[in-house]
Structure 1
Amino acid sequence: MAKWGEGDPRWIVEQRADATNVNNWHWTERDVTSWSQDILNELLLRVRVEGEDGICEITDVSKIEGEASINNRKGKLIFFYEWTINASWTGTSKNGLKYKGNVEVLNLSDENDMDDLDISISACKDQPPTPLTALMKKEGEKEVKLALAGYVSHLKKEFSQGMILPTSDDVKKQQQTQIKGKLNQTQVGTTTSTNALSSGVKIPTVQFSLKDTFLTSPDELYRIFLNQEMVQAFTHLAAVVEGDRGGKFRLLEGNVHGEFVELIPDQMIQMKWRFSAWPAGHHSIVTLNFIDRGGETELTMTAAGVPSNEEDRMKEGWQRYYFDAVKQTFGYGVRI
């Protein structure tokens, strides 16, 4: 038996509370089948395309069969997933006629690239010919692939945390960095720098803004972001929303969470906002400004202190899972 300090350090039990399977080195497996089914269903139901002939959207996901797991072998993560999916799409022409069809995904797996996916899109046999079928086959297939790629990204970025555990040396280094960050924090006054230092890591950050128009009043739109039932409606997932100053929120299976910092009724919401995968303690400061445009509301979202490598992801997420989802759920993007 090797003595302490001798032999392969990966097999030596380090200073951990459980004193077994150090850093999950030997073999650790996590079943993510149920989680995967929920995420796939939620992402596919967001698929919606619009063209000159009308609108097509996935309205039902009838089958998600398969399995998924994450395995850690000798410090390397192995992702396994294999799915067969059946869904239904509905097309609405410009004159209001409805058409129905099917979507079938046969080989979503870790062995196939997204470009190699076998996706079959067709109209139901009893449906008359419609150009909406061509729209769904061309643009709808792209959106389906984006949704499935989003699932894989979620799986790898969000759900793999904790599969490789830190060694005692890693913990010591992290503690030393955090102590140094707290000492430096007293010398820095800006919000972005404080957030970065409090996490123990110096993070390059950026600021960006998004703007969109909603066909509703500022007070109605303002209420949607603070009401738990309404947030659950447009995210299609359970959420925790304490809609008061200092209240906490947790959305999208816990992948997004934060705190409401300042509220001006019907005018402004400011919050600390973060992805769970960001370094501990680091938040972006997100400000929503609601401007009355006479029957419409112009919403400007400004995010400061965003990790520079997360800018595109956060922009896409806010546009798709907040702005577009609110319009689709409550009808604030369609003139009647």
Structure 2
Amino acid sequence: MVVHNPNNWHWVDKNCIEWARQYMRSKLVGLSSNEKTGKHAEIASVSAVEGDCEVSQRKGKVISLFDLKVVMMLKGFVGEEPFEGSITVPEVAFDSQPDDYQFEISIYKETAQLSEVKPVIRSELIPKLRDVFSGFAHDLLVTHGDDIQVPESQVQSQFTRANQKSLSQGGATKSEPKSIAKSSTATATSSSGAAGPQSVANSSSTAPKYNTTTLHLEPTFNVPAIELYNTFLDKQRIMAWSRSHLICASSSPRIEKGDEFTLFGGNVTSKLEQCEPGKKLVFAWRLNEWQSGHFSVMTMNLHESKDYHETKLQVTWSGVPVGEEDKVRGNFEEYYIRSIKITFGFGAVL
């Protein structure tokens, strides 16, 4: 990027959230415990990196400001029994210490046998994750610090030049993964993100596009998976938990694949894109206030644990406009999750 900032005096910042997502994928995927115990866990993918990540400078000083939520998908086995799950780290921040990181471990379709892998995850995998998160701030500055400053040779101010020199002397040699290129990041003060879904309802190549992000939620319901599945498709049930009239062109008592419908007085439009009874639902979803043609994609995977008589709803929600994350998450937790539990008694409500 080109910086016009005489003597590196003024405030300049660079949005690095997309680089942070690539960094986490590069560093985290593949980390694993050993297999000697018969209990093995491995990071299969990074499902979501939400939050803010910037590198800024003023008066020659470069700082990083970030506050991220990271969700990783797990896979592994206990003996002959395979499993899937997730690890959620609610906060990876610029002022976090290694002991500050909290790790929420979830095993899908958990059984008494599969629960035995959790101590292995805590003792062997979590320390490796702490190391990655602890090194993030350093790598972020080393990779992007030069991009927001003019070269030291062009700085006349002794004050800012001293600040800039102290940073370069304190920094380490760059060692970023080859797969993470600077060209993939946004320019100063701009937002990064995917362009949004292309194949969902009413979207087209001419529709306005947002910078977007991905959300990840994992509510638990005390009900068989097929009952929860039906709760999202049966029209009478939907009107009960949404406490609103459902408008749909189809006269079927259930939402069928391809059906588009509105809820909450027309504030939410949704379309069922995929369905697999008791296992998976995919909806195109938009708020009425979003620009015309833009839909997010809400993917729900249902994981039923017969041992624990509960169903974990793994929600991966892509295409959410940047800046709308808190509103979308809050509305879903209040008007979907909490309302379903209250209406049908599918679990404790906090």
- Both structures adopt the same fold (TM-score exceeding 0.5): no
Q: TM (normalized to structure 1)?
A: 0.43
Q: TM (normalized to structure 2)?
A: 0.41
